[in-house]
Chains A and B, each alone.
Chain A
Amino acid sequence: MATVRQRRKREFVEPPIHWEQILERAQANNEPQWLITMRQQAWEQYKSMPMPTLRDESWRRTDYSHINWDTAGTVTVADSPEVERIPAANRAPLIGEEQGGLLAWVDNALAYQELNERLEQQGVIFTDLATACHEYPDLVQKHLFTRAVRPEEGKFAALNAAGWTHGLFVYVPKNTLVDLPLHSIFYNEAVGASLGHVLIILDRGAEATILQEYLSPEGEEHSSFVGATELIVGPNANLRYVSLQAWGHNMYEFNHGRGHVDRDGQLDWVVGSMGSKLTKSFMQISLDGQGAWGRMSGMFFADGQQLLDHDTLQIHHSPHTTSDLLFKAALKDEARSVWRGMIRVMPGAQKTDGFQANNNMLMSRTARADSIPGLEIEADDVRCTHAATVGKMEEEYIFYLMTRGVPRIEAERLFINGYFWDVLERIPFEDVQTRLLADVDRKILGLHNVSSGL
């Protein structure tokens, strides 16, 4: 078949989302006035900013101009969301038979809500953000788009702040230990735009483990997800937060996530991305209080023509703080990954320890990885190091494994599973590890087109 190469004009246009639609939905949902005002201010912020283009430093490698906003920009909210539409494996309890709670949204509408009674009695709030805005306005107003993600951070952050369609809200009171994991799922079946929000607040001395999943089936027409994640970890609190993305290959994801860790608090944040056509994700850990500890771990496996782009910042505001980042990508076919990571140590943040490592494994000649580490240090008594590698899946390894009798595909599987293991073992749910390894296997076998992507 003859092909004509044309130089495509890159246009970065806004999605066809209008203030009138947002307002109409907000009024239909009987949203409080403060929220509508907040949305409107964010909308004005949004309109005042241009769409990011390849001329913006953090978007230089992220050409999303091929998105078809005609389909991807239409916000749809399900009338009667059915939780059964979500694959059963994703709804299964995380440890044994129990989980602390499950919240699930289907096509931007709440479809399921369950919270362990004991946790409820402890004062744990685990609900959808819209409900929280009515029932806990003080808590929400104090944290929503105020401290972590702010609308002025970027076009898509502002869009989420103005138009978020649904969201997870978690609050764990002082010194409360949530000993069963909480589980939340955003599932998008309909083609269109989805704007999901996550707001998690751990008060002083609280502890919790939370899994957030992003899923959609495979499809042809473009969809979009514009997300924001705010993790607020109080003094001495400890949050283990796992976020897994298995979108269909027709999804464009734009995400801003930020965790704030107060004095002696801990945030252990793991992300796994396998899906989407394109993901652009900004992730930041801010170590605000003395002795705060934060870790970001990521596993990314892209195939076909996927682009997974992560922009990370570890920012140390106080002395004796520790940050650690390990991001690992495997890339098949013509897939690409971008990681741009910065450790920033603010003046006075002495005795801080910052580390970042990014490893990329190329499984084909046409795959590509860009790895751009960075340090900005404004204190003099610190230890900050980084390591970035781009390697090939060398034949030497596969040959060695094969000489013990395992067929090539099994040898590749062993090798890649081993490669991801140090990130995987940071996910505190064995069944979820198994699920992710099954996803990895499907990618190695080249089955992504026939699977549900889950």
Chain B
Amino acid sequence: MGATLEIRNLHVSIDGAPILKGVDLVLKQGETHALMGPNGSGKSTLAYALMGHPSYQVDAGQVIFNGADVLELEPDERSRMGIFLAFQYPVSVPGVTVANFLRSGINARRKAENPDDPGISIPEFRRLLKQKMDLLGIDHKFAGRYLNEGFSGGEKKRNEVLQLATLEPLIGILDETDSGLDIDALRIVAEGVNKLKGPGLGILVITHYKRMLEYLQPEYVHLMMDGRIVESGGPELAQTVEDHGYAPFFEKFGLEATEE
């Protein structure tokens, strides 16, 4: 039995303004889901709320992961139980190298399991990180750079995918990992994620664009509008969005198109 992330009737607001108005979604380890939707529909809010961002107020609903109530947990606890978020706009942290950061992440996992764990040895960690960088075609120099400091848009996204690869979560949420990338950068990032796909990883990829989906081939596609998932289907749903845009759906669900 794989791990399952179950979102039930989730309501989330920011500064009192409701954004998510009852989201239901079930995501299993090994599955790939796409979440599409117009700007401002709540896709990124869902991603942040699942990870426990303090500015996002959960008003109602539940998120259950492997039987545990996720909403009760701190972001680090959620991470350690196997939920990962690849950020759309990761912050830069001067003075903290990519390697040092990832080692802290791995050691936090080991310490949570066993408080006496001395942490991963440096040679062992180097081997692991090199292996992951090679898998994703990332230059080894990357490890010694400060986290996102001076990174290009493409490098930031690749760094997020490297973290995904190294921390080996059960569920990975990719928040517009394709945004702001040119065709080549998108291909590199998408191919990287593709290499991580497998029975051990459930993926929720948030995107506007079909390009990313052509690489990732999700089995399930969900359409979010006005804080709800209004339609779910297979790859054909992504094709409909690509062909006709969101306008027919606004009409279908009696919603007004809003700009952010």
Contact = CB atoms under 8 A, between A and B. Distances in A.
A401 B93 contact: yes
Interface string B56-80: 0000000000000000001110111
A402 interface: yes
Nearest to A423: B95
Contact of A402 (B74, B87, B91): B74
A408 B54 contact: no
Given A399-B51, A400-B90, A407-B108, 11 more contacts: A394-B91, A399-B54, A401-B104, A403-B84, A403-B87, A404-B102, A404-B104, A405-B112, A405-B167, A406-B108, A420-B95
Contact of B94 (A400, A401, A418): A418
B128 to A, nearest CB: 15
Interface in A388-428: 394-397, 399-408, 410-411, 414-415, 417-422
Interface string A364-404: 00000000000000000000000000000011110111111
Contacts of B108: 404-407, 410
A410 B104 contact: yes
B137 interface: no
Q: How large is the interface on B (under 10, 10 to 19, 20 to 34, 35 or more residues)?
A: 20 to 34
A404 B167 contact: yes
B171 to A, nearest CB: 13
A418 B79 contact: no
A431 to B, nearest CB: 18
A403 B108 CA distance: 11
B30 interface: no
Contact of A404 (B55, B74, B101, B112): B101
Contacts of A397: 91, 93
Contacts of B78: 403
Contacts of A406: 76, 104-105, 108
A399 B102 CA distance: 15
Contacts of B76: 402-408, 411
Nearest to B78: A403
B104 A414 contact: yes
B74 A408 contact: yes
Interface string A181-198: 000000000000000000
A417 B104 contact: no
Interface of B: 51-55, 74-76, 78-80, 84-85, 87, 90-91, 93-96, 100-102, 104-106, 108-109, 112, 146-147, 163, 167
Contacts of B146: 418
Contacts of A415: 93, 96
B93 A400 contact: yes
Contacts of A400: 87, 90-91, 93
Interface in A214-231: none
Contacts of A420: 95
Contact of A399 (B75, B84, B95, B104): B75
Nearest to A407: B76
Contacts of A411: 76
Given A397-B91, A399-B53, A414-B101, A404 B163 contact: yes
* Those 6 A-B pairs whose CB atoms lie nearest each other, nearest first: A418-B95, A421-B95, A418-B96, A404-B105, A405-B79, A402-B75
- Most B Cβ at <10 Å: residue of A397, A401, A404, A420: A404
Nearest to A411: B76
Contacts of A421: 94-96
A208 to B, nearest CB: 28
Contacts of B80: 405
A159 B77 CA distance: 56
B79 A404 contact: yes
B95 A403 contact: no
A192 to B, nearest CB: 39
A416 to B, nearest CB: 9
Contacts of B104: 401, 404, 406, 410, 414
A297 B96 CA distance: 19
Contacts of B147: 418
Contacts of A408: 74, 76
Nearest to B166: A404
A420 B112 CA distance: 27
A421 B97 CA distance: 11
A405 B166 CA distance: 12
8 contacts: A399-B51, A399-B75, A402-B79, A404-B163, A414-B100, A415-B96, A417-B96, A421-B95
Given A410-B108, A411-B76, A418-B146, A403 B85 contact: yes
A394 B112 CA distance: 25
Contact of B95 (A394, A405, A407, A422): A422
A422 B146 CA distance: 11
A218 B37 CA distance: 60
A398 to B, nearest CB: 9
Contacts of B55: 395
Contacts of B90: 400
